[in-house]
Amino acid sequence: MKQTENLEFDAQHIWHPYTSVTHPSIIHEVVSAEGVHLTLADGRTIIDGMSSWWSTIHGYNHPRLNQAAKQQIDSMSHVMFGGLTHQPAIDLARKLIDITAEPLQKVFFADSGSIAVEVAIKMAIQYWFAQGKTKKKRFLSFRNAYHGDTFGAMAVSDPENGMHNMFESVLAKHLFAPAPSCVNDKDWQESDITEFRQLISEHHGELAAVIVEPLVQGAGGMRFYCPEYLRQIRALCDQYDVLLILDEIATNFGRTGTLFAYQQADIYPDILCLGKALTGGYMTLAATLCTDKVAHGIAADGSGVLMHGPTFMANPLACRVACESIDVLLESDWQQKVKKIEQQLIAELMPYQSMGLVKEVRVKGAIGVVELHQPLDEQMDWLPKFIVDQGVWIRPFRNLIYIMPPFIIQTDDLSCLTVAIGVILEQLSKK
């Protein structure tokens, strides 16, 4: 009875992400989680293939992360960061500086990925404003880009084919190059970047920064592209005096096979956005890192004040757990785990490429994507329940069925996810 009452109340009063309050989607109540498994209120246990939107890389209920949270909460769960500091923030900043590219020396803590992007946008605009180049306030991004749901982040996401097209008329107008199409460096051709080069060449006088998701475009279509494209972008930004912002919120902390995706191109950004897996999925926290060039450039106008200050910035509890999450990752054989996941995804998902409704199967690191020819919109009345009935948690969107499992997932559990995708595809082919 309690479960029924909870779900009825939820349906009547709680607004879930990307859903309608008048036609709410099917909701499943989770009562506990352990490892890669979610236990539902009806007693069923399902395998999480989403890492809770790509964040729980170590799985759920991790003993070391639990202990870190318990120890921190006994001393201080939160204190404002304006005019104050604390050991967890200092420790986390030190770790982030140590593991990212050497030129990234300044850390601004935010409370979500979208806010990290907003901070990056502000940094870029303030940098040029302090140089007296006030016309440099637009951004160049990709089609199919997704950088978050707040207004600044929406404005640098794809305005037509993205999730925010209804807001297009009220968003700041930026520039968008075609989404990269070259998947492998060996297939690189100069023509792949022709339109991007033309846009930055023609508009560099008004461009504050280029902002892209390195190697993997996430919620804009789960699209992969080659490291050479990033190298070319870095060179063009240097040539035309434009800052480079890399949004690693989805790709950071090992998801693509390297600690950060930009490392596969052997470049570094002027500004770097981190989030999601930063705390191992325990709570919300993000960070925007920048070079001394950017930080000192902002200070050039005499004030040096970055005009942003979230209330829960550098929350001690989140910072302490993030420190432990980074230690857990770096002390593990995470590279081998991600490589093993990648190899299994290739072996078990690629056979679906031959199915008529499948457009493409692609795998990178611990990311497996099955793209269909048609969107799944008309299937969403029955599909979410059908997926959970297979004993898994997968959340398709548009024409994509994809998984990004925790790095700790075992072979059998990962096979359950890939087999479930096959069952889903078989069911879709009957519709």
Domain co-membership, 181 together with 35: no
Model pLDDT, residue 171:
86
pLDDT of residue 207: 98
pLDDT tens across 347-367, in order? 999 999 999 999 999 999 999
Residues 400-413 have pLDDT tens digits of 999 999 999 999 99
**Region 316-321 average pLDDT:** 98
Question: CB–CB of 230/194 below 8 Å?
Answer: no
What is the arithmetic mean of pLDDT over 235-242?
Answer: 98
Q: What is the CATH number of the domain that holds 271?
A: 3.40.640.10
Q: What is the CATH number of the domain that holds 7?
A: 3.90.1150.10
Over the range 246-258, which residues count as b (16 or more CB within 10 Å of their CB) and which as e? bbbbbbbbbbbbb
38 & 94 share domain: no
315 shares its domain with 236: yes
What is the tens place of the pLDDT at every residue in 191-234? 999 999 999 999 999 999 999 999 999 999 999 999 999 999 99
* Torsion angle (degrees, nearest 10) of CA 334, 338, 339, 344: 140
Q: Helices (DSSP H) in 331-409: which residue ranges?
A: 334-349, 383-389
Q: Over the stretch 124-169, which tens digit does the pLDDT of each residue have?
A: 999 999 999 999 999 999 999 999 999 999 999 998 766 677 787 8
pLDDT of residue 386 exceeding 80, the answer is yes
DSSP 76-135: -S----SS---HHHHHHHHHHHHHS-TTEEEEEEESSHHHHHHHHHHHHHHHHHHTT-TT
304 shares its domain with 272: yes
Instruction: Pick the last residue of a domain from 300, 330, 360.
Output: 330
Q: State the pLDDT at residue 305.
A: 87
145 closest CA partner among 226, 225, 243 = 225
Q: Is the pLDDT of residue 273 over 70?
A: yes
Angle between helical axes of 194-203 and 227-240 (0-180°, round to 10)? 20
Beta-strand pair 223-224/175-177? unpaired
- Residues in a beta bridge with 397: 400
Which of residues 305, 330, 355 is at a domain's end? 330
Percentage of residues of the chain with pLDDT beyond 70: 99
Domain termination residue (choose one: 303, 330, 357): 330
CB 298, CB 304: distance < 8 Å = yes
As for how many domains the chain has, the answer is 2
Please check whether residues 158 and 304 belong to one and the same domain.
Answer: yes
Token pair for 230: 């990033």
Q: Contacts from 326-335 at CB under 8 Å and sequence distance 24+?
A: 326/92, 326/95, 326/99, 326/253, 327/64, 328/58, 328/62, 328/64, 328/65, 328/280, 329/57, 329/58, 329/253, 329/254, 329/280, 330/99, 332/407, 334/254, 334/407, 335/254, 335/257
Q: Which of 47-51, 85-89, 203-207, 379-383 has the lowest mean pLDDT?
A: 379-383
Q: Are residues 325 and 338 in the same domain?
A: no
DSSP 165-213: GGGGGGSPP-EEEPPP---SGGG--GGGGHHHHHHHHHHGGGEEEEEE-
Residue 292 has pLDDT above 70, yes or no: yes
Is the same domain home to 30 and 140? no
pLDDT in the model for residue 345: 98
Cα→Cα distances 359→145, 350, 362, 428, Å: 20, 11, 10, 14
Mean pLDDT of the chain: 95
Distance between CA atoms of residues 48 and 34, nearest Å: 10
Q: Which residue has the tokens 């097209």?
A: 165
Selecting among 247, 268, 364, 413, the annotated active-site residue is 247
The answer to whether residue 30 scores a pLDDT higher than 80 is yes
Tell me phi and psi for residue 311, to 5 degrees.
-55, -45
Q: What is the pLDDT of residue 106?
A: 98
User: Both 40 and 73 in a single domain?
Assistant: no
Question: What was the pLDDT predicted at 162?
Answer: 61
* Sign of the dihedral defined by the CA atoms of residues 105, 248, 122, 87, in that order: negative
Clarify whether residues 367 and 325 are in a common domain. no
Q: In percent, how much of the chain has pLDDT > 90? A: 88
* Identified catalytic residue from 95, 122, 137, 276: 276
pLDDT at position 159: 83
276 assigned to active site: yes
Residue 57 and residue 77 in one domain: no
Q: Which of the following is catalytic: 111, 127, 136, 146?
A: 146
18 catalytically annotated? yes
Q: Domain limits at 352?
A: 2-61+333-430
In the prediction, which pLDDT does 166 show?
Answer: 79
CA distance 275 to 285: 6
**352 is annotated as an active-site residue:** no
Q: Say which residues have a Cβ less than 8 Å from residue 227's Cβ, sequence separation at least 6.
A: 185, 215, 264, 265, 266
Give the Cα separation of 328 and 166 in Å (integer).
Answer: 42
Q: Output the pLDDT for position 269.
A: 98
Same domain, 282 and 387: no
Statement: residue 383 has pLDDT above 80 = yes
Q: What is the pLDDT of residue 377?
A: 83
Q: Can you give the pLDDT at residue 1?
A: 58
pLDDT band at 172 (very low <50, low <70, confident <90, very high): confident
Check residue 303 and give its pLDDT: 72
Cα-atom radius of gyration of the chain, to the nearest Å? 22
| Three-state secondary structure call for residue 323 | helix
Asked whether residue 203 falls in the same domain as residue 55, the answer is: no
pLDDT higher than threshold 80 for residue 71:
yes
Specify whether 247 is catalytic: yes
For residue 370, give every residue at least 6 positions away whose Cβ sits within 8 Å of its Cβ, in sequence order, or none.
349, 352, 358, 360, 361, 400, 401, 402, 421, 425
